[in-house]
């Protein structure tokens, strides 16, 4: 796959739509930087940085972290050397102000190539989130029913223990879906109007979605 063709890409969709899993895989296959704002925030929370401390309460409640904090974090990240050539933004933008800030930050010559919308019905998202488990060491993503590890709660890849994200508990999931509906879903119309939106039916097995993504991003 030619990374130059897929230079700057946004993966958009509800929580649990498979953006993170696919972004990791595509980024590896195409030599792109994978920029996940959720992963970056979780790293800040783990390190107990000032940003992490501010973000934690919002994240645990299933709410979006305020735009100004996120926008600064992403601007700094896409200025780093490994993000010069090509990147996938996974989980950003999630609000209209974030989308506009991204547009302003990118030059015309290096504007967005594609926005891929991962379409999955909301009831399916709920089931994916409640059963999701993440490796505490390598970050691999599993599911207790759809993609179980051989030994319960032990990562097949690296042998470390699995954890449930604090915001994958039912109390937070309802709020995250609501935030998605009210704040993030309007981005579909925004990017459609900019002629950047491409949709993928992400309610299918990961390998099928991956193969189609590679085609969509050509
Ligand atoms: P994710 O791993 O993408 O599901 O993100 C986990 C949580 O991090 C979200 O529920 C938000 O609290 C926060 N978060 C991640 N990305 C953003 C963003 N672009 N804007 C606001 N909050 C975000």
167 Cβ inside 6 Å of ligand 1: yes
The model's confidence at residue 171, banded by pLDDT at 50, 70 and 90, is: confident
Sketch the domain layout of the chain as residue ranges.
Answer: 8-121+171-216
Residues with catalytic annotation?
A: 19, 94, 132, 165, 176
- Residue 5 pLDDT > 70, yes or no? no
Distance between Cα 158 and ligand 1 center (Å)? 26
Distance CA 114, CA 5 (A): 10
Report the chain's mean pLDDT, rounded to a whole number: 92
The pLDDT value recorded for residue 110 is 82
Q: List the 33-36 sheet strands across, edge first.
A: 33-36, 87-90, 8-13, 114-119, 197-201
34 Cβ inside 6 Å of ligand 1: no
Distance CA 200, CA 119 (A): 6
The model's confidence at residue 3, banded by pLDDT at 50, 70 and 90, is: very low
- Residue 6 pLDDT > 70, yes or no? no
Two tokens, residue 138: 């390598």
40 Cβ inside 6 Å of ligand 1: no
The pLDDT value recorded for residue 107 is 80
Two tokens, residue 40: 């970056």
Two tokens, residue 118: 């991962």
The model's confidence at residue 7, banded by pLDDT at 50, 70 and 90, is: confident
Q: Which atom of ligand 1 is nearest to the CA of 36?
A: 3
Q: Decide if 205 contacts 16 (C-beta within 8 A).
A: no
- Residue 152 pLDDT > 90, yes or no? yes
The pLDDT value recorded for residue 4 is 43
Q: In the chain, where do the E strands start and end?
A: 8-13, 33-36, 87-90, 114-119, 132-135, 141-143, 162-163, 197-201
Entry pTM = 0.91
Closest CA to 83 of 36, 13, 141: 36
CATH architecture label of 8-121+171-216: 3-Layer(aba) Sandwich (3.40)
Q: Which residue has the higher pLDDT, 71 or 171?
A: 71
Q: Which atom of ligand 1 is nearest to the CA of 167?
A: 10
- Tracing tokens 């100004």 back to the chain, one arrives at 68
């Amino acid at each position: 796959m030619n990374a130059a063709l897929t230079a700057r890409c946004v993966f958009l969709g509800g929580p649990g739509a498979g953006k993170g899993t696919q972004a990791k895989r595509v980024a590896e296959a195409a030599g792109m930087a994978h920029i996940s704002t959720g992963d970056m925030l979780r790293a800040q929370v783990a390190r107990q940085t000032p940003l992490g401390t501010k973000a934690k309460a919002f994240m645990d409640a299933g709410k979006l972290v305020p735009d100004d904090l996120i926008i600064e974090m992403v601007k700094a990240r896409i200025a780093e050397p490994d993000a010069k050539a090509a990147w996938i933004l996974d989980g950003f933008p999630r609000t209209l102000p974030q989308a506009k800030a991204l547009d302003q930050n990118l030059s015309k010559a290096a504007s967005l190539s594609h926005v891929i919308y991962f379409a999955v019905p909301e009831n399916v998202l709920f089931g994916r989130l409640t059963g999701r488990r993440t490796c505490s060491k390598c970050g691999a993503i599993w599911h207790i029913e759809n993609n179980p590890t051989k030994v319960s709660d032990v990562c097949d890849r690296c042998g470390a223990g699995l954890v449930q994200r604090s915001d994958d508990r039912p109390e937070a999931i309802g709020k995250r879906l609501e935030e998605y509906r009210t704040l993030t879903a309007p981005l579909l119309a925004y990017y459609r109007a900019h002629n950047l939106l491409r949709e993928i039916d992400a309610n299918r097995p990961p390998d099928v979605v991956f193969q189609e993504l590679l085609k969509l991003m050509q």
